[in-house]
Structure 1
């Protein structure tokens, strides 16, 4: 029986960097994935495909904005959907082959396509072959979770995986759920001229995100013609592609929505089925594998990272966790994950970026904070770009003066999130940010201007 120092199950943004890091330590490593190349769902069905389509939609939208800049465009703009999908295909191929070449640089790292299952705490079965290991990392990611809706139509609906494979741009589509995936996709399709509906159980979209930020996006969706229906109780979902029927009640009134296409995006479920976790005593539930702060499971030689665990489900978080897991397996000192400095970006319109704690997060922790705000309506760059919607917020711990969280709502929040991450990770105060000279006219000036605003506000307060 062949034996490895480390077996990694799943070759996405958590598993692949973990395997390569272990190989750099000189360890013998087996990386197993059901696909024939590294990348995971983020590359093949999530982050990257959605951004290819989003880029096309945003550039298509520019034609509609030309008149605001006094530019006439002759003729009727047209999107070549099949060409966009071909771009997506080529980018995915390029990135997956690039990842495979990186893996192949290490002679002590073997990549194998197959399905892995634990048979005991030091053995896995890969398509019938038994393989021994000292340590294992589970990085199998997550997939779309379909709630137990009534009706036969549920199994025929799209998820984020299928929507990127359709060769024709739909004329009309309904989204069930108003989380990150739905909000990104519904705005993308709306920009391309698709008639869009969104049905959500809650009282607003993006229920896990700072309410002020979410409401900016919700209000823009409604202004741009997206049919957003909130406080919905779902009944039966019937039909198939081309003719769906969604029954629901809203404010006590029974309603039926007929729609040719239906996409369900109501959360994620960890990919743990078939791994044999029960056999080796690794605790898990629908939300994921249970790990401690060192990413160790309930079995001491088995670790788990990324979306398959209970915790944040972001590609960059999985990569961060991969480094910590490898350190904790092979280095003498243990490191712990620190969610207080987590950053993320929602590629909505406008974009939302968040780093560290929101005001609600701080309140849950019993931390006394002040929230300071800079409005992009007064910003020079935002005015020049005619993109004045949005704001920058600092969440400041009153006791220490440290900026514990930053929220950004802006057309280009993703580009601003790097500076925000550095501020929170290094526990800077407003005075530290004020020392930075930001170029004019850029949106990054907003950090300095907000820091100045905070400083002068503090100077006006009476001394004790």
Structure 2
């Protein structure tokens, strides 16, 4: 079937994940003649089917199992649940199916969007082919996302392995699981499977856990994971994998110590790579590298009527970043306004337990830039709500310069929810004194923000100079 004799579509979107769906939804409802092409069998992308939604569902189930074992901490009988992974995965599937209803193709067709399922490939800068269809367009949006990166380890393919795409097919809980990679995906799934009952070994090449974080933060999280029985090995490179379930590793580049880790399943969580190889970008003249499609601040590619957003162009592989970038593309491709990206305030969360949330600069980055900053710290162990819920691990670390927030790191309960007050403060350039002056409901975890900021003002308030001033006021005013 050919569309070559029809008028060019005003907008052609390649990829039915979060970014593509946001652009399609808005464009269609505004009356823009839009075609959305998705190569998979359903809309929603990796986030819905193999990423954020299934992983957070599994993480929550694993947390419930962990809480059951901790019953005695809350004055209840402890219980060690017998985990049926098949039943757990059935629940994961049901949650995905429930949310999938929001991404029904008929919903988008109701907006006037032509939804096409098939592999899209550029035949030129203004035409793509999807199956037997040829679709021409005035403007294009590439939103094809990313896929798990698999390192070239000898024996890995022959031995077999899982990724964040395929782990959801498991029906039996692995007795021994090795996780290659201690990034967000590796950390989250390692802890989840350990809490469900697997003996987990976490392997990473970096010399320490989370090298991009302040050392204290990485060590604190490592201590928590090891306290749950996870074997954490950093500074380890995988030399080869054997078919009988043995991962042979080499510790460090300078060490000659070689040792083996015996496992029943191997989960590769070594990062992600842009999913762009099948697009035929060279035929369209779109510049790209192994890290993704090259875009400018307006998310235009080297071919100005072709835009890209989401994981396929980076720089941050988050669903909320894809949705944000989709809004920038809508401004440029639909409204024809010169809207530019602003990555100054981008929250990011690792959904381990406790959660690790970051925004802006951490202390290490600020010092490296030569900035004169103050670090405000407050532990969750001194927040009454955290004490009441016996979730006292972690702390808030705020990076402040001249009374304004440059960044924050939260390691603690519900850190992913708490980070947004700080994100708003940074986005609106609110001085931290306003956080201190804001009434925070008691007892809430959010009080940690106010109490952290108060560590800046406390020494000044109770200084000898202030004490002398107060004594003078008391004598002067009856």
* TM-score between both structures, scaled by the size of structure 1: 0.94
Using the alignment, how far apart are the partners of 2:101 and 2:56 within structure 1?
Answer: 19
CA distance 1:321–1:366, shift in 2 (3 Å): farther
- Superposed CA deviations along residues 160-200 of structure 1, whole A, max 9, x for unmatched, are 11111111111110111111111001111111111011121
- Range 84-93 or range 210-219, more displaced: 210-219
Using the alignment, how far apart are the partners of 2:80 and 2:261 within structure 1?
Answer: 31
Q: Is the contact between residue 408 and residue 422 of structure 2 (CA under 8 Å) also seen in structure 1?
A: yes
- Range 92-101 or range 315-324, more displaced: 92-101
Equivalent in the alignment of 1:224: 228
Per the TM alignment, residue 453 of structure 1 is displaced from its structure 2 partner at its CA by 2.1
Compute the RMSD of aligned alpha carbons: 2.0
- Superposed CA deviations along residues 276-323 of structure 1, whole A, max 9, x for unmatched, are 111112111221111111111111001100111131000010000000
Select the residue among 49, 54, 61 that pairs with 2:66.
Answer: 61
- Range 99-108 or range 226-235, more displaced: 99-108
Equivalent in the alignment of 2:300: 296
- Range 2-11 or range 200-209, more displaced: 200-209
Equivalent in the alignment of 1:33: 38
Q: Aligned with 2:151: secondary structure?
A: coil
Select the residue among 136, 139, 147 that pairs with 1:135.
Answer: 139
Using the alignment, how far apart are the partners of 2:111 and 2:399 within structure 1?
Answer: 48
Per the TM alignment, residue 260 of structure 1 is displaced from its structure 2 partner at its CA by 1.2
- Range 182-191 or range 384-393, more displaced: 384-393
5+ residue gaps, structure 2 = 467-478
Using the alignment, how far apart are the partners of 1:334 and 1:31 within structure 2?
Answer: 23
Equivalent in the alignment of 1:430: 432
CA distance 1:384–1:76, shift in 2 (3 Å): closer
Select the residue among 440, 443, 446 that pairs with 2:445.
Answer: 443
Equivalent in the alignment of 1:4: 9
1:446-461 equivalence runs, <5 A: 446-459=448-461, 460=463
Q: Aligned with 1:334: secondary structure?
A: coil
Q: Aligned with 2:165: secondary structure?
A: helix
Using the alignment, how far apart are the partners of 1:293 and 1:143 within structure 2?
Answer: 24
Using the alignment, how far apart are the partners of 2:340 and 2:156 within structure 1?
Answer: 45
Per the TM alignment, residue 238 of structure 1 is displaced from its structure 2 partner at its CA by 2.2
Equivalent in the alignment of 2:76: 71
CA distance 1:107–1:199, shift in 2 (3 Å): closer
Per the TM alignment, residue 93 of structure 1 is displaced from its structure 2 partner at its CA by 1.6
Per the TM alignment, residue 154 of structure 1 is displaced from its structure 2 partner at its CA by 6.1
Using the alignment, how far apart are the partners of 2:287 and 2:159 within structure 1?
Answer: 29
Task: Please tell me whether Structure 1 or Structure 2 has the larger radius of gyration of its CA atoms.
Answer: 2
Equivalent in the alignment of 1:249: 250
Using the alignment, how far apart are the partners of 1:110 and 1:220 within structure 2?
Answer: 49
Per the TM alignment, residue 99 of structure 1 is displaced from its structure 2 partner at its CA by 1.5
Q: Does residue 81 of structure 1 match 2:82?
A: no
Using the alignment, how far apart are the partners of 2:285 and 2:426 within structure 1?
Answer: 38
Using the alignment, how far apart are the partners of 1:154 and 1:172 within structure 2?
Answer: 19
Using the alignment, how far apart are the partners of 2:460 and 2:341 within structure 1?
Answer: 34
Using the alignment, how far apart are the partners of 2:11 and 2:215 within structure 1?
Answer: 43
5+ residue gaps, structure 1 = none
Using the alignment, how far apart are the partners of 1:176 and 1:376 within structure 2?
Answer: 31
Q: Does residue 176 of structure 1 match 2:177?
A: no
- Range 327-336 or range 84-93, more displaced: 327-336
CA distance 1:238–1:461, shift in 2 (3 Å): farther
